[in-house]
Amino acid sequence: MSKENQTFVEVAVCGAHMSGLPLNVQLTSLAGELVSKTTTAPYYRLYKLNGFTPERPGLLRVKADGQAIALEVWRLPVTNYGAFVAGVPAPLGFGTLVLQDGSQVQGFLCEAYATEDAIDISAYGGWRDYLTKKDA
């Protein structure tokens, strides 16, 4: 099928799947293309989850004290979307994220129970800044 005739889904990633990070190949190998770098609306908290190699964050939507979190939006052929989502381990999953401009995309979310023993890294504003500054 030619690219012009394909249907795409936009997918937000906020951790190890971002450009240049260890799991980005899971997007690029499925014909994913970077669309934009943006942030969520200020409805989320970001946590460094335990038990993952490579390290991964968990994004949790909250009722209060949310913050905008940096992320990337990727475009994936809808025919490859299922293969991508099927490879996501619990407590991570997919849902609808609200971006800073009010638009909505599919993206990574985390089940709340996994944040109970995780480190809240929301103050860093995003995973990439956390990785850069955590050891500084």
User: What is the rounded distance in angstroms from the CA atom of residue 54 to the CA atom of residue 128?
Assistant: 13
Residue 78 CA neighbour count, 13 Å, CB half: 6
| Domains of the chain with bracketed CATH | 3-119 (3.10.490.10)
Q: What is the mean pLDDT of residues 36-62?
A: 97
Report pLDDT digits (tens) over 80-131. 999 999 999 999 999 999 999 999 999 999 999 999 999 999 999 999 999 9
pTM: 0.93
